[in-house]
Amino acid sequence: MKILVTGGAGFLGSHLCTELLKQDHEVICLDNFYTGSKQNVSHLLSHPNFELIRHDVTFPIFLEIEGIFNLACPASPKHYQSNPVQTLKTSVHGAINLLGLAKRTGAKILQASTSEVYGDPRISPQIEEYWGNVNPIGIRSCYDEGKRAAETLFMDYYRQHQVDIRIARIFNTYGPRMAIDDGRVVSNFIVQALMGKDITIYGDGNQTRSFCYVSDLVDGLIRLFFNETTIGPINLGNPTPIPIKDLASEILQLTNSTSKIVFEQLPSDDPIMREPNIDKARQILNWEPSIDRQQGLMKTVEYFKNTIIR
């Protein structure tokens, strides 16, 4: 297939582009480089089936394609809160433009949604049928509500125009090519540990997250995209939660760091627990993560060691 990957030069998008090329698809990588990087796809530039386009999805684009993975949106709080209006536009206008493209070309389109649609959940683990607990006027709302609105648009294009959609709800993902300064907890802790700086935990560290290694997540996205029995939404993530303070301790051990753990105030609307129920992914996609956390963290530490030294 000829497949468009928006946000394709980002952390997750670049791994997706690489895997799609391995599976002999033609890939058009589209990115405005707000948080993505040309360096992430530099190893693909000479590939005969790869094309890179600089473009912002808030503006229409006209291409002839057969499939779309819509990953365009900053995913870390640091970046999406720095320009909240543009974040919301990226989710909403971007969805409208890409769904219009899919409608015109007859392409299949997958929306990379997020566990943030569940907000600060009152149930755990989170199932796809849970409607969430989201503050519509908080500092995270530009991302949370933007992704919720995008899911609404996808479902309405499916019902009204019979567009062939898929919706993936992605939980915390980590691995090589995460940006050093993206503000996400795994990259923050590893970089702080390797540089001998204090490891900063916001809140008391008892809040939980579930971390999925990037290759597992990409596998889940591709399985959902090509599955013909479901449109989703489907949770994709690691179902094993860990308290943030325990993650910090693990990373200190893996890096042999002498950094100290310090605690600061928890930001507004930061969820206390994040844990996916992946029963649907197991049953429908025959998918579950295969890389355990220690193995994935070791690979990620090695990446950051080489990045910081370089």
- 39: domain CATH number is 3.40.50.720
Can you give the pLDDT at residue 267?
Answer: 76
Of 64, 72, 127, the residue nearest 94 (C-alpha): 72
Q: Is residue 26 part of a domain?
A: yes
User: Taking 80 as the threshold, does the pLDDT of residue 201 lie above it?
Assistant: yes
HSE, CB side, 13 Å, CA atoms: give it for residue 104.
12
Quick one: 25 and 35 in the same domain?
A: yes
Are 185 and 50 members of one domain? no
Global confidence as pTM: 0.94
Is 280 among the domain residues? Answer: no
Q: What range does the domain containing 69 cover? A: 2-173+212-236
My answer on whether 127 and 186 are in the same domain is no
- Are 180 and 259 members of one domain? yes
SS3 content of the chain, % helix, strand, coil (to 5): 40, 20, 40
Same domain for 18 and 148, yes or no, is yes
User: Whole-angstrom Cα distance, residue 291 to residue 116?
Assistant: 23
pLDDT at 104 over 60: yes
Q: Is the pLDDT of residue 220 over 80?
A: yes
Concerning whether 213 is annotated as a catalytic residue, the answer is no
Same domain, 151 and 219: yes
Q: For position 192, which CATH number holds?
A: 3.90.25.10
Question: Has residue 286 been placed in a domain?
Answer: no
Query: Is residue 276 within 8 Å of residue 237, measured between CB atoms?
Result: yes
Which tokens go with 97? 């433009």
Which pLDDT does position 181 carry in this prediction? 84
266 against 117, higher pLDDT: 117
Given the residues 34, 80, 118, 143, the one annotated as active site: 143
For 48-58, the pLDDT digits (tens) are: 999 999 999 99
Is 184 in the same domain as 204?
A: yes
Are residues 189 and 68 part of one domain? no
Band (183; pLDDT cuts 50, 70, 90): confident
Per the domain annotation, does 283 fall within a domain? no
Q: Do 188 and 53 sit in the same domain of this protein? A: no
Q: 62 with 166, same domain?
A: yes
Same structural domain, 163 and 205: no
Question: What's the rounded Cα separation, in Å, for the pair 255 and 145?
Answer: 37
Residue of 124, 112, 300 lying closest to 208 (CA atoms): 124
